[in-house]
């Protein structure tokens, strides 16, 4: 089992993947998350419903007398154009989201 990850590092790392949908392109991000889960003892599998649109399934064995649990979520991100009216790069800082010329507090 791996040591715990720094939450800020992990957040920055996940946000560094360009998964803006469309087109998505979650493959590299899914593989990164999969490696983290594998290091934690999970078995992983990947499925693509379109080129680069990768979904990740992670399973861990139990002794059979516990009910399974399922978490689901999206790896892709929504374009910032929906928030700002223009498509601009995102830079994540410790306590704020920076758009190229402006700062919006979290």
15: closest CA among 31, 29, 36? 29
Which of 4-13, 23-32, 88-97 is modeled with the greatest confidence? 23-32
Q: Provide the pairing of β-strand 43-48 with 54-59.
A: antiparallel
Query: CA 59, CA 18: separation in Å to the nearest integer?
Result: 26
Task: State the greatest distance between any 2 C-alpha atoms of the chain, in Å, as a whole number.
Answer: 55
pTM of the predicted structure, to 2 decimals: 0.71
pLDDT for position 6 = 83
DSSP H helix total and E strand total for the chain: 3, 5
pLDDT for position 20 = 81
- Has residue 81 got a pLDDT over 60? yes
Residue 95: both structure tokens together:
């306590």
For the segment 32-41, what is each residue's pLDDT rounded down to a tens digit?
Answer: 999 999 998 9
């Amino acid at each position: 089992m791996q040591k715990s990850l720094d939450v800020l590092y992990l957040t920055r790392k996940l946000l560094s993947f360009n998964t803006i949908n469309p087109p998505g392109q979650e493959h590299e991000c899914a593989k990164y998350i999969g490696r983290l889960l594998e290091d934690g003892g999970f078995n992983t599998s990947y499925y693509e419903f379109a080129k680069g649109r990768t979904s990740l399934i992670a399973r861990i064995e139990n002794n059979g007398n516990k009910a399974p649990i399922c978490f689901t979520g999206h790896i892709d991100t929504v374009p910032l154009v929906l928030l700002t009216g223009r498509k601009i790069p995102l830079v994540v800082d410790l306590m704020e989201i920076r758009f190229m010329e402006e700062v919006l507090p979290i």
